[in-house]
Structure formats: structure tokens, C-alpha cells
Structure 1
Amino acid sequence: MKGNNIRKELLSWFFVFVSGITIALICREYIFSPVVVNGASMSPTYENEDVIIVSKISKIQRFDHIVFKAPYEDEYYIKRVIGLPGDTVEMKDDVLIINGKEFEEPYVKRNAEYQIRMTENFTLEDLTGEKKVPDGYIFVLGDNRLNSYDSRHYGLIPIEDVFGESKLRIYPLQNMKYFSNPYE
């Protein structure tokens, strides 16, 4: 009888362990996943080697931070969504203009002392040949405009290449932060 109780207890613990691992793997595969930031293209929002949690079930909106498959490399990039399908995008005198409306960009670190233009003038058509972001695509920019390889260089990103939206920085611990859209 005693051996039978031990066997039941071990089977119970084994079931709990296997269930926990299964739930964790399902969550990581379909709901959220940790990602390590590589590079400085999103500075000061993210720094190199920050660890973030990416939601795989979020609806992508303008100004969200997304992780996506890099166009010409076997890695992932993190950038900010600027243009959604149907949007016109323009940068004029360091002012972002989407669908004719000017937007402040508090997340772009500006250096008032040197008065350097952070982003060159462009229109979506200049960069991609498209007047509006086509269906199934998005236009992205890094927050560190002087040091970001983004849609200004490789064009539009297929929405199907989006891995997910960054929701939470978990490392370094002193910089832990939940991210929400600044225009919601």
C-alpha cells in the first residue's frame, strides 16, 4: 500500500511537470516569446542586449514597436511602425507627416545643441515608388534615426514577416518597463 501511494505521488508530480512544460511551450510558440535586442537602432527606447517580451497575438497599430524577419538577413529586427496599409508617409524638416497630419516624435532623441536633422526629408513615393502603403505591408523606422537600417533603406515590410509586438522590457531589471502606444 505504501509503495502504491509513492507511485501515485510520483505520477502526480510527473503530470504537473509535463503539463507545466507543455503550457510554457504553447505560450512561447503562439502567445508570447522573449527576444534579445541586438544593436542601437531603437535607442533610447531600447539598448543593445535588452530582453523584451514580444506578444504574438497583438493587433499591430501605428507607433507600436515590432519585431520582424529582416529582409536580407537571417535575423530579426525591432523597429517602430510608422505607416499602415493605406497611409501616406512623409518627413519634412524633421517633422513626421502621416496622411497629411503632423506627428511629434518624443521617442526620437534630438540634440538641440548641434541642431542636426535627425531624419532626412523623404516621401513614401521617393523611397518605395508607392504613394500609399499597399495592403499587406507596413513602413517602419528606428528611433535612432542616424543609426537605423529601416524602411528608408529596404522598403516596405510584409505584415506576414512580423513576429510580434514588443510589450515589456524585462532586462536589465532596473529598466523594466511596460510599453504602450504613445498615441492611444
Structure 2
Amino acid sequence: MNAKKITLKKKRKTKWIIVLSIVLIAVLIFTIRMAFYKPFIVEGSSMAPTLQDSERILVDKAAKYTGGFYRGDIIVIHDKTSGRSSVKRLIGLPGDSVKVKDDQLYINDKKVEEPYLKEHQQEAKEIGVSLTGDFEAEVPSGKYFVMGDNRLNSMDSRNGMGMPSDEEIVGTESLVFYPFSEMRQAK
């Protein structure tokens, strides 16, 4: 009888150790995840059709510290002055020359394809307008040139938003996670 009680106590103790270990691991994973990833709600249509208003995305904050940003990345920018955040596509890196002529993007005088604009380019042609509008810009050191994918309806580096700095970039979009039926990695 004593041996049975001791065995039962050991089994209960083992179960509690396992449960506590699982809870501790879950809390640790959640804490680490939140240190490197942040949920964000897309507001407005400046990134349509790539991202839609009210979609929820997961932002990879680690990109800031593990190799930086790349042309074409979708980034979240936080303006400390207004307290607002926005989602844009990274077009130009520090030191780049950015130019659009006849709806064609050139970075450092090299033609750059923008497959994410095809839908809007077709719409712009149908109504007889330029999607992006011609412009030229030099990206200063420590700054980035950004534009929304919905070029006709985007406040960005071309028209008043300015060029964000490293400190203003929260991270890169890693996943659209809500609505669940639309879960995907945006490109």
C-alpha cells in the first residue's frame, strides 16, 4: 500500500512538472515572438491591391537588426511626431537615385520591374492617366524612399510624407494573418 501511494505521488509530481514546463516554454516562446514580431492593422488603401484596409499583418522587427531592408520590402513606418504608423513599399535605399518616367521606375538609372503594380497600371491606362507621375529624387544618407502600391491614392515620399529614417521603420511585413481566409505572405 505504501509503495502504491509513493508511486501515485511521483506520477502526480511528474505530471505537474510536465505541465509547468509546457506553460513556461509557451510563455518563453510568446515573449520571444513579441520581441521580434508585432501585429499591425493596415489602415487605408494606399497599398491596395497588395494589402487591403483592415487586414492584420505581422511585422518582423528583427529585420532592422539582422541585415537591414531591401528594395521591394513592405515596411511599417512609425511617425513619432503624429504618432501614426503606415505601410509602404521600400523603393530607394540611402544614396539611391530614384526616377519615374512614363510610369517606369529607374533606380540608379537601371530599369526596375514592379509586378505588384500591374492591376493599377491597367486601370490607369484605361482612364488615360499616369499611375505614378514623372519625378526624380535623390535619397539622402540614413533615409529611405517609399511609395504605396496604390500610387494614385498614396501619401508617400513623393508627396508630403517625406523619407523615413532607420529609427522610423518598425520592421518588414512578414505575414497577413487576418482575415484567416486571406492568410498569406504579401509580395
- Structure 1-normalised TM-score? 0.83
Q: Structure 1: state its 5+ residue gaps.
A: 125-131
Q: Would you tell me which structure has more helix in proportion to its own residues?
A: 2
Match of 1:118 among 122, 125, 131: 131
Residue of structure 1 equivalent to 2:58: 53
Residue 144 of structure 1 deviates from its aligned partner by 0.7
Residue of structure 2 equivalent to 1:154: 161
Q: Structure 2: state its 5+ residue gaps.
A: 1-5
- Alpha-carbon distance in structure 2 between the residues aligned to 1:5 and 1:175: 45
Match of 2:32 among 15, 18, 26: 26
Q: Which residues of 2 match residues 53-72 of structure 1 at below 5 A?
A: 53-58=58-63, 59-70=68-79, 72=81
Spell out structure 1 runs of 4+ moving beyond 3 A. Answer: 1-5
Residue of structure 2 equivalent to 1:129: none
Q: Structure 1 residues 71, 33: closer, same or farther in 2, change over 3 A?
A: closer
Residue 154 of structure 1 deviates from its aligned partner by 2.2
Residue 15 of structure 1 deviates from its aligned partner by 3.0
Match of 2:184 among 177, 180, 184: 177
CA-to-aligned-CA distance 1:46-102 (integer Å, 9 cap, x gap):
001112222222331001101121364213211000100110011222221211122
- Alpha-carbon distance in structure 1 between the residues aligned to 2:143 and 2:76: 14
Q: Could you say what secondary structure the match of 2:116 adopts?
A: coil
Residue of structure 2 equivalent to 1:97: 106
Is 2:50–2:186's contact at 8 Å kept on the other side of the alignment? no
Residue of structure 2 equivalent to 1:128: none
- Alpha-carbon distance in structure 1 between the residues aligned to 2:81 and 2:50: 24
- Alpha-carbon distance in structure 2 between the residues aligned to 1:23 and 1:171: 21
Name the amino acid aligned to 1:20.
A
Is 1:136–1:160's contact at 8 Å kept on the other side of the alignment? no
**Cα RMSD between the aligned structures?**
1.9
- Alpha-carbon distance in structure 1 between the residues aligned to 2:156 and 2:176: 22
Bigger Rg, structure 1 or 2? 2
Residue 120 of structure 1 deviates from its aligned partner by 2.4
Q: Between Structure 1 and Structure 2, how many residues are aligned?
A: 172
Residue 22 of structure 1 deviates from its aligned partner by 2.0
- Structure 2-normalised TM-score? 0.82
- Alpha-carbon distance in structure 2 between the residues aligned to 1:25 and 1:80: 28
- Alpha-carbon distance in structure 2 between the residues aligned to 1:67 and 1:24: 21
Residue 104 of structure 1 deviates from its aligned partner by 3.0
- Alpha-carbon distance in structure 2 between the residues aligned to 1:21 and 1:6: 22
Q: Could you say what secondary structure the match of 2:132 adopts?
A: coil
Match of 1:12 among 2, 14, 18: 18
Q: Could you say what secondary structure the match of 1:28 adopts?
A: helix
Name the amino acid aligned to 1:38.
E
- Alpha-carbon distance in structure 2 between the residues aligned to 1:19 and 1:173: 26
Q: Could you say what secondary structure the match of 2:16 adopts?
A: helix
- Larger CA deviation: 80-89 vs 143-152: 143-152
Residue of structure 1 equivalent to 2:144: 138
